Structure 1
Amino acid sequence: MKKRVKQPTADVPALDDDGPFAGDRQFVGALYRGLEILRCFRPTDGPLGNQELSQRCGLPKPTVSRLTYTLSKLGYLVYLEDSGKYRIGVPVLGLGYACLGGLRIRDTAQPYMDELARHAGSGVLVGLGGRDDLSMIYVACARASSVVSLQLDVGSRISLARSSMGRAYLAGADEAERTSLLQQIRAKVGEEHWPRHEEEILRAIEQVRTRGFCTNIGEWQTEVNSVAVPLRTPRHEMPALAFNCGGPAYLLSRERLEQDLGPRLAEMARKIQTFGST
């Protein structure tokens, strides 16, 4: 049997010492780090060990060991004795469904998304997503029946900075949030790559301002094209969201995105936004 967790020692940093809100006395760093551990797990992952989790979240391994031990005691992680690794526990799924249940805009949006997916045809995915850190997470999807389609579904993550959905979200964000997110993206991608990212993001923001939607021609993934629009309603309890419509480039030309699906997606968002404000 593999050793599960080391006993805390004097050189293990306190879990509340720092974090993104260092100096904020109301901010609980230990809770933040525990949630960061859960964020490390991806839908395509198998079980992960403390060393892998440490590398992904940037925390010292002794700190990760304490957090995974605690999360496993609460059921949010399940410890696998044979491998000494962890997988996500069922209680995490309960939190996800509680979130989806609170997003009633999904029920309003789904028939419109289904209709657009049927119009777009085989191989095209229509999605609705919200932001989690520097990613967008799908909260609703629609697709026409097909053996060819993007392998994305509810819970899938895509890039905030590089996807059309993420850029549409940034276009719809208020100035303070957008400035903060651009600073975080810049720090993450590094100064060498930032000019290209900035140019693409600012171009998308301008497209949303002038046309109501932004396109992404192979910038997120080669041979994948998409179009996206932001969704905001005056109701403060609903988070900012964004729609996208994407698929293989051979199915979605720039011309089709700009002249057909983009305008349809923007009109769909306007209709749903009207319902969401009532």
Structure 2
Amino acid sequence: MSDKRESVSSPAGARVTATAKALRVLDCFTPTQPELSLAQISRILNMPKSTLLNQLRTLEEAGFLGKSPENQTYRLGHKIMELSYCAHAAMPVIQYAVPVMEDLQVSTGEIIYLTSHIGGQVFYLECVYPSRRSVAYSVSGKTLPMHCTGCGKAMLSQMPTEQVEAIIQKHGLPSFTQNTITDHDALMEQLAVCRRRGYALDNEEETMGVKCVAMAIRTSRGDVAGALSISGSTLSIRNENIPQYAELLSRACNALSPYARMMPAILYQNQNTL
């Protein structure tokens, strides 16, 4: 009897292992390392090149990886882009959010971002740019640390202290600019200020020359689902405009609150452990 169970379960176990290995390969690619050689992937995964090569060929044949004919490096393939588009289209909150974001953009003349949080990081869902600005890439799917962005700090300020501490423990407080808050106590003090006034500021903390005002979006139960931000240059977002922007954000976040349960932080709550 035991032999029969092993013969039935082994192929399934093998398939799970193969799937896990394939997913680990795909997870090697990042915005800062969009192309990787066989040697680099082997080093990242601590996997022999001979074993890895079969995985790479399978993923390439299925369209999940592409291979450069010039330098033989690998990159994410067209199938990933197709799935990314499907995932974006499957978030119904965006269809409700975009009109609100467009109104906010017209009122301020600045860039408007809609974000959520996944795994203790800011997850960008959508943005609305001024019509005068040409855009060469989509921000959807981009992730950033929470401590150095307006949206991230807005969400952190509304989370329980133990959740904030867990996020800091996992991701640390890396520096991006000379203005990034890298001290634990200083960050906690700023989050307390954000909590009192209801909005967060990013004062060139992730990118020099960029400033933003952000506010958290919460569900009817009070769970932090995401954030909206007004982002622009330090010349265009002036201190005297911030109270007005905060009021506009408050109205927009209230308008999106009924749809907050459709945001990734809530939809994937079982997987979103931070």
1:91 counterpart = 2:76: no
What CA distance in whole angstroms lies between the structure 1 residues aligned with 2:258 and 2:72?
A: 51
What CA distance in whole angstroms lies between the structure 1 residues aligned with 2:132 and 2:85?
A: 27
Checking the alignment, whether the CA contact within 8 Å between 2:121 and 2:146 is kept in structure 1 is yes
Checking the alignment, whether the CA contact within 8 Å between 2:199 and 2:215 is kept in structure 1 is yes
What CA distance in whole angstroms lies between the structure 2 residues aligned with 1:148 and 1:201?
A: 35
Secondary structure at the counterpart of residue 222 of structure 1: coil
Match in the other structure for 2:167: 181
1:222 counterpart = 2:246: no
Higher gyration radius (CA): 2
Name the TM-score, length of structure 2 as normaliser: 0.71
Paired amino acid for 1:154: S
Checking the alignment, whether the CA contact within 8 Å between 1:235 and 1:277 is kept in structure 2 is no
Secondary structure at the counterpart of residue 196 of structure 1: coil
| Stretch moving more, 203-212 or 216-225 | 203-212
Checking the alignment, whether the CA contact within 8 Å between 1:149 and 1:247 is kept in structure 2 is no
Deviations 1:64-118 (A, max 9, x none): 9355444324321122344221121122123222322232111111111001111
Alpha-carbon shift at residue 234 of structure 1 (Å): 4.7
Match in the other structure for 1:154: 140
Matches within 5 A, 1:7-46: 34-42=22-30
Cα distance change, pair 188–29 in 1 and its aligned pair in 2 (3 A): farther
What CA distance in whole angstroms lies between the structure 2 residues aligned with 1:98 and 1:143?
A: 22
What CA distance in whole angstroms lies between the structure 2 residues aligned with 1:152 and 1:172?
A: 28
From 165, 183, 188, give the equivalent of 2:151. 165
Alpha-carbon shift at residue 155 of structure 1 (Å): 3.1
1:242 counterpart = 2:227: yes
Match in the other structure for 1:265: 249
1:126 counterpart = 2:78: no
Cα distance change, pair 266–99 in 1 and its aligned pair in 2 (3 A): same
Match in the other structure for 1:47: 35
What CA distance in whole angstroms lies between the structure 1 residues aligned with 2:22 and 2:114?
A: 27
Query: What is the aligned-residue RMSD (CA, Å)?
Result: 3.6
Deviations 1:135-163 (A, max 9, x none): 42321111222248897632333332311
What CA distance in whole angstroms lies between the structure 2 residues aligned with 1:242 and 1:32?
A: 32
Checking the alignment, whether the CA contact within 8 Å between 2:150 and 2:213 is kept in structure 1 is yes
Count of residues in correspondence between the two structures: 241
Secondary structure at the counterpart of residue 129 of structure 1: strand
Matches within 5 A, 1:44-123: 47-53=35-41, 58-60=44-46, 62=48, 65-66=52-53, 67-121=55-109
Match in the other structure for 1:252: 237
Paired amino acid for 1:272: L
Checking the alignment, whether the CA contact within 8 Å between 2:145 and 2:171 is kept in structure 1 is no
Cα distance change, pair 74–133 in 1 and its aligned pair in 2 (3 A): farther
Checking the alignment, whether the CA contact within 8 Å between 2:145 and 2:152 is kept in structure 1 is yes
Secondary structure at the counterpart of residue 236 of structure 2: coil
Q: Name structure 1 gaps, 5 residues minimum.
A: 1-27
Paired amino acid for 1:65: L
Paired amino acid for 1:205: L
Q: Name structure 2 gaps, 5 residues minimum.
A: 1-15, 263-274
